[in-house]
Amino acid sequence: MYEDYPFWFTFFTKLGFRVIISEKSTRKTYEKGIESMPSESVCYPAKLSHGHIMSLINSGIRTIFYPCIPYSRKEFEGADNKYNCPIVISYSEVIKNNVEDIKNVKFINPFLPFDTKNLVKKVMELDEFAEYNFNKKELTEAAISAEAEYQKCKQDIRDEATRSLEYIEENDLKAIVLAGRPYHVDSEINHGIDTLITSLGLRCSYGRFYF
C-alpha cells in the first residue's frame, strides 16, 4: 500500500467510500497481532500486517480491503518479469484464515489485476462488490481517475529525485541510495537508517521515497 495507495484511495473515493488507513507502525502495532501469526520465519512486514488488521478492527472499521495482487507494473522494458513475491500476492489469505476477529468485519480480499481495463472487468464479476451495484461507467471513471493519480504520484517522486540530484551537484555533497521495497519507508521497518545516514552528512534517497 505504500506504493499503490494513491491508486486505491482515488478509486474508492470516486466510488463514494470514505477511506481510512491503519495507525502508524510501532512495536505495539506488531504486538496487537502477535497471537494470530502462524509463522516465525515470515518477514517482519508480513507479521506487522496482523497488527494493522487488528488496529482497524479495534477502531470500529467494518469493512477492510486487502487485495491479492499477483502482478505489479513492469516499469522497465528490460525487466524479466513483474511478479510480486508470494507474500505480497497472497498474505491476505493468511490473515483471513488466522485472525479470529476477521469474522466480525467484511473482509474483501479478491485477486485483482493492477491495471485499469482488467480491473473494471474483474470487479464487475466479483460477488464481494455486488451489493454496491456499481455500473461499468462508474467503475471505469473511478479507475481512470485512480490511474491518473497513481501516475502523478510516480512523477512527483521522479521530480523529487531530480531535485535531489541537482542539490547534491550544486552543493558538492556525498549521497547514498538505499534500494528496497516501498514498505522500507515505514519507520518501524527501516529502524531509522535514513536518519543515521543523514546524521553523517550524507543526503539520502530511499528507494522511491526521498528524505
Per-residue pLDDT reduced to its tens digit, 168-192: 899 888 888 877 888 888 989 988 8
The total domain count for the chain is 2
175: closest CA among 190, 194, 158, 189?
A: 194
Domain boundary among 121, 148, 175: 148
Q: Say if residue 143 is in the same domain as residue 188.
A: no
In a domain, 9, yes or no: yes
Shared-domain flag, residues 131 and 187 = no
Residue carrying C-alpha cell 488496529: 55
Is residue 40 domain-shared with residue 124, that is, in the same domain?
Answer: yes
Domain boundary residue, one of 148, 171, 198: 148
User: Does one domain contain both 9 and 42?
Assistant: yes
If asked whether residues 131 and 174 sit together in one domain, one would say no
At residue 210, does pLDDT exceed 80? Answer: no
Q: Is residue 108 part of a domain?
A: yes
The two beta strands, 203-206 and 209-210, are: antiparallel
- Domain-terminating residue out of 148, 176, 202: 148
Q: How far is CA 107 from the centre of its chain?
A: 17
pLDDT at 75: 75
- Inside any domain, residue 143: yes
Is the domain of 42 the same as that of 79? yes
Instruction: Tell me if 204 sits within 8 A of 178, measured CB to CB.
Output: yes
Asked whether residue 22 is assigned to any structural domain, the reply reads: yes
CA gap 115, 84 in Å, rounded:
14
Burial class (CB in 10 A: 0-12, 13-18, 19+), 157: middle
Residue 11 domain-assigned (yes or no):
yes
Q: 67 and 133: one domain?
A: yes
Q: How far apart are CA 94 and CA 108, in angstroms?
A: 13
pLDDT tens figures, 73-87: 877 788 888 888 888
Quick one: 78 and 107 in the same domain?
yes
Confidence of residue 194 (pLDDT cuts 50, 70, 90): confident
Q: Assess if residue 188 is contained within a domain.
A: yes
Residues 6+ apart with CB under 8 A from 187: 24, 25
User: pTM above the 0.85 mark?
Assistant: yes
Same domain, 62 and 131: yes
Residue 206 has pLDDT above 60, yes or no: no
Indicate if the pLDDT at residue 155 is higher than 50: yes
Residues 130 and 183 placed together within one structural domain of the fold = no
In terms of domains, do 174 and 141 share one?
A: no
- Domain for residue 118, yes or no? yes
Same-domain status, 141 and 163: no
Inside any domain, residue 153: no
Question: 203 lies in which domain range?
Answer: 158-210
CB 143 within 8 A of CB 116: yes
